[in-house]
Amino acid sequence: MKSAFRGLLVLILLAASIPGRAAVAAAANRPWLNSALSPDERAGMAVRAMTEQEKLALVFDYFGSLKPDVSYRPPPGARMGSAGYVPGIPRLGIPPQWITDASLGVATQRESADAYRERTALPSGMATAATWNPLLARRGGAMIAAEARASGFNVLLGPGVDLVREVRGGRDFEYAGEDPLLAGTIAGAQIRGIQSQHVIAALKHFALNDQETGRSVLSADIDPGQARQSDLLAFELAIEQGEPGTVMCAYNRVNGAYSCQNRWLLERVLKGDWGFDGYVMSDWGGTHSTAAAALAGLDQESGWILDREQYFAAPLRQAVAANAVPLTRLDDMARRILRSMFAVGLVAHPIGDDPGPIDFTADEQVSEADEAQGIVLLKNAGAILPLPRTMRRLLVIGGHADRGVISGGGSSTVFPAGGNAVPGLGPKDFPGPVVYLPSSPLAALMGQSPLTRVRYLSGDDVARAAQQAKWADCVIVFATQWAAESEDVSLTLPGRQDALISAVAAANARTVVVLETGGPVLMPWLSKAAAVVEAWYPGSRGGPAIARVLFGAVDPSGRLPVTFPESPAQLPHPRLPGESVPQGKRFDVDYREGAAVGYKWYEKQRLTPLFPFGYGLSYTRFRYRSLAAGVENGRLVVSFDVTNVGSRAGAAVPQVYVGPKAGGWEAPRRLAGWSKVSLAPGGSAALSVTVDPRLLSTFDETGASWRIAPGRYDVWLGESSADTRLSAEVSLSAWRHAARWMAGTAPDAKGSRLPSYCRVISAAVRRAGPAWIDRSGSQAAR
């Protein structure tokens, strides 16, 4: 470029960036647009400048897509295929809210099926939780939010953090497992990632939306204190760590009252005790009243046309006129929404009309890294994995592995670039179709081992598959189970897949099973299969991620975020609650197991599951030493050394569990912290974990406080909830802290909100425990 021309261009650009008189005047007239002020100040000023009609418009969200069955069209300005749209207020410089699903990628509402947005899909939430790696969760959140922005959206309806209380739950795949600390930490990191792109994250579904059967009519009944120690703790931690702009209340009732008009849940717990200063949006079709909802803490009615009638909008105006809802409450609703828009940067970083572009290659790398660390190696008899590249004949069977990897159904479905790899499966309408992402494991396996002769069979013909299995040096069977929003699943793999695996494994002892499931399944063939790998829903680059783990290019470092039961009889509810209740009829689910969710239930009941929480094998082995439990700044700190004593590089996921000797908790022990560290052969790391006092406490609902009972506690270090390598003992003094936690606890210099809470009176390391024995009777390969 000639220098004179370049100078002119610089001048033109500079001139364009100098605000004109009108803009300066507008900024002076609209002080809430000044980013130097706090979000609270800005929201307060903006609300004072608003008309009542503008406030009413802000708290009412239209469904964002066509609804042909009721001839519904969203207002102009909505983005087709989106979940929601709240018009902006141009007079005040407030942009619209363009709202889309969800936590696994940018989704498209089915009603606009002619125009799917093709976007990058992360692996399922369960896979991300299985990484035990908040950094990956954060990167994934940032990736999908950047795609959301590039697609014209500034509100993303995720992540979800309902605990996996019900392993048959149709949406478990969207969530982050059964433990509040793990789930809350992963979701908190996802929120941070999403909001780093100036996109509001909606943490959902608040609360106890733990099964799909009867989700709009059931009441999740639970002791409030136990809820605070389990499902609610996951939300509390995610909110504390991620500071989401909004929380979405759920479809179900909690202890009798609908979540979106549940005063205890919204006003007392969320906004009161936790000091949540964002807004509460309803789930789509989850609003049931005007004054009752507004007074209980609902701030925005979402996705109207899906509610039976409009509850906010005109009825809310009438309720305010009649003083059934005070004007101050309407102001508070508007203020909360604006506060989040200012805090997350929706106003300072507006979305243009022609956003984009998207770097799909870079985004797929994020997805692949997530899956590669989320894959869990469940069994590896005779160290059959990693597969040798010298292998001559490989047979791959089933799971449409020649074409792609399966994903979950419902509002979270991401339609992939390149289209559905296996079209025509599953329900035509919501929650379908079944979407296979076009990332073929077969092609990736061939890429990993180019000299191996590879054959593929669909697996439809079981006898043929078993016969062909004899030809191969090794067989890999891919098994899939589609799970979807609005329906729950069975624990049994669908179709004839169990029979297929049994027949193939009987014909060839070197059979590896790769599961692509939303959550746990039963494995009647487990003793026959040489190796089993849980790949979950593997995301846009599932094929390469699976192939790299199977061939050892990557060490399997995923660990189970959920317990795999041996049979439904082991579950707190052996039969799915409500399964025989006629559709639409109300019923109650009695969560009498309280906070004993997942591994806590098994340990309390002394049950041995198929695979315990936290479990997963590596291709190398780790040794743990020097466990110490001490106090730093009034907090319990557990430190230890880990060494890679095998001959390959790998990642260890040491887990710290704690439990009171005198009992009194919902279960003998709880996860209190973990670390994930990648080590070269012979490499060591000195690690430490600081324990959140809530994980040492019980919640006293009457006294609205967390309490640590004085006495002796065990501290265990292991590789799963059922595997203790070292243990120590500490004595703790009594401690009590008000439930109003976040609000009352300023972050310290390191940004931690943990208050000082304990005095360790004594600590001593006791013993090394046994390695966990796998179900097939052989010592787990370590």
User: Which string of DSSP letters, residue by residue, matches 407-453?
Assistant: --BSTTPPBPTT--SSTT-S-SSTT----EES--HHHHHHHH-TTSE
How far apart are CB 101 and ligand BGC at their closest, in Å? 5
How far apart are CB 287 and ligand BGC at their closest, in Å? 12
CB of 593 within 8 A of CB of 572?
yes
Using the minimum distance from each CB to ligand BGC, give the nearer residue, 518 or 612: 518
How far apart are CB 365 and ligand BGC at their closest, in Å? 27
How far apart are CB 775 and ligand BGC at their closest, in Å? 35
Using the minimum distance from each CB to ligand BGC, give the nearer residue, 306 or 531: 306
Using the minimum distance from each CB to ligand BGC, give the nearer residue, 168 or 204: 204
How far apart are CB 236 and ligand BGC at their closest, in Å? 20
Please count the residues of the chain.
782
How far apart are CB 308 and ligand BGC at their closest, in Å? 15
Taking alpha carbons only, the member of 105, 55, 111 closest to residue 83 is 111
Q: Which of 47, 157, 341, 476 binds ligand BGC (CB under 6 A)?
A: 157
How far apart are CB 111 and ligand BGC at their closest, in Å? 11
Determine which helix (DSSP H) or strand (DSSP E) holds 55, and give its type and residue range.
Answer: helix 52-58
How far apart are CB 564 and ligand BGC at their closest, in Å? 26
How far apart are CB 284 and ligand BGC at their closest, in Å? 4
Site string for ligand BGC, 582-611 (x = CB under 6 A): ------------------------------
Q: What is the C-alpha separation between 271 and 283, in angstroms, rounded? A: 18
Considering only residues 330 to 359 of the shown chain, the ones binding ligand BGC according to CB under 6 A are none
Burial of 67 (0-12, 13-18, 19+ CB in 10 A): middle
Taking alpha carbons only, the member of 449, 442, 515 closest to residue 482 is 515
Using the minimum distance from each CB to ligand BGC, give the nearer residue, 122 or 479: 122
Site string for ligand BGC, 302-331 (x = CB under 6 A): -x----------------------------
Long-range contacts of the stretch 751-755 (C-beta < 8 A, 24+): 752/690, 753/240, 754/635, 754/690, 754/692, 754/693, 755/634, 755/693
Burial of 495 (0-12, 13-18, 19+ CB in 10 A): middle
CA atoms lying within 13 Å on the CB side of residue 373: 24
Site string for ligand BGC, 687-726 (x = CB under 6 A): ----------------------------------------
Considering only residues 384 to 413 of the shown chain, the ones binding ligand BGC according to CB under 6 A are 411
Task: Using alpha carbons, list the distances in angstroms from residue 562 to 222, 450, 710.
Answer: 21, 36, 31
How far apart are CB 215 and ligand BGC at their closest, in Å? 8
Residue type, 34: N
Residue type, 575: R
How far apart are CB 157 and ligand BGC at their closest, in Å? 4
CB of 260 within 8 A of CB of 288?
yes
**Beta strand 698-700 pairing with 705-708:** antiparallel
Residue type, 479: A
Using the minimum distance from each CB to ligand BGC, give the nearer residue, 299 or 723: 299
Taking alpha carbons only, the member of 648, 596, 654 closest to residue 623 is 654
Q: What is the largest CA-CA distance in the chain?
A: 82
| φ/ψ (deg, to 5) at 454 | -125, 135
How far apart are CB 113 and ligand BGC at their closest, in Å? 15
Number of shown-chain residues binding ligand BGC (CB under 6 A): 9
Using the minimum distance from each CB to ligand BGC, give the nearer residue, 155 or 781: 155
Using the minimum distance from each CB to ligand BGC, give the nearer residue, 216 or 643: 216
Q: Which of 175, 284, 599, 674 binds ligand BGC (CB under 6 A)?
A: 284
Site string for ligand BGC, 71-100 (x = CB under 6 A): ------------x-----------------
Using the minimum distance from each CB to ligand BGC, give the nearer residue, 303 or 315: 303
How far apart are CB 709 and ligand BGC at their closest, in Å? 38
Using the minimum distance from each CB to ligand BGC, give the nearer residue, 149 or 205: 205
Strand-pairing partners, residue 736, are 707
Using the minimum distance from each CB to ligand BGC, give the nearer residue, 284 or 536: 284
Using the minimum distance from each CB to ligand BGC, give the nearer residue, 121 or 547: 121
Tally of CB atoms within 10 A around 592: 12
Locate tokens 């024995």: which residue? 773
Using the minimum distance from each CB to ligand BGC, give the nearer residue, 299 or 364: 299
Using the minimum distance from each CB to ligand BGC, give the nearer residue, 83 or 397: 83
Tally of CB atoms within 10 A around 268: 17
Q: Mapping DSSP to helix (H, G, I), strand (E, B) and coil, where does residue 43 land?
A: helix
How far apart are CB 372 and ligand BGC at their closest, in Å? 27
CB of 111 within 8 A of CB of 411?
no
CB of 418 within 8 A of CB of 438?
yes
Considering only residues 625 to 684 of the shown chain, the ones binding ligand BGC according to CB under 6 A are none
Q: Which of 212, 273, 283, 714 binds ligand BGC (CB under 6 A)?
A: 283
Burial of 328 (0-12, 13-18, 19+ CB in 10 A): exposed
Locate tokens 């077969």: which residue? 442
Using the minimum distance from each CB to ligand BGC, give the nearer residue, 204 or 335: 204
Q: Establish if 252 lies at the interface with ligand BGC (CB under 6 A).
A: no
Q: Mapping DSSP to helix (H, G, I), strand (E, B) and coil, where does residue 596 land?
A: coil
How far apart are CB 353 and ligand BGC at their closest, in Å? 23
Site string for ligand BGC, 171-210 (x = CB under 6 A): ---------------------------------x------
Task: Using alpha carbons, list the distances in angstroms from residue 578 to 308, 400, 404, 581.
Answer: 23, 33, 35, 5
Q: What is the C-alpha separation between 376 and 130, in angstroms, rounded? A: 7
Query: In 19-75, where do the E strands start and end?
Result: 60-63
Using the minimum distance from each CB to ligand BGC, give the nearer residue, 174 or 364: 174
CB of 752 within 8 A of CB of 241?
no
How far apart are CB 62 and ligand BGC at their closest, in Å? 12
How far apart are CB 205 and ligand BGC at their closest, in Å? 6
Sheet holding 155-156, edge to edge: 279-282, 246-249, 200-206, 155-156, 97-100, 84-86, 60-63, 301-304
Determine which helix (DSSP H) or strand (DSSP E) holds 90, and give its type and residue range.
Answer: none
Using the minimum distance from each CB to ligand BGC, give the nearer residue, 131 or 246: 246
Using the minimum distance from each CB to ligand BGC, give the nearer residue, 266 or 715: 266
Q: Which of 94, 102, 126, 550 binds ligand BGC (CB under 6 A)?
A: 102
Q: What is the C-alpha separation between 585 and 308, in angstroms, rounded? A: 17
Q: Which of 62, 97, 101, 597 binds ligand BGC (CB under 6 A)?
A: 101
Residues that bind ligand BGC (CB under 6 A): 83, 101-102, 157, 204, 283-284, 303, 411
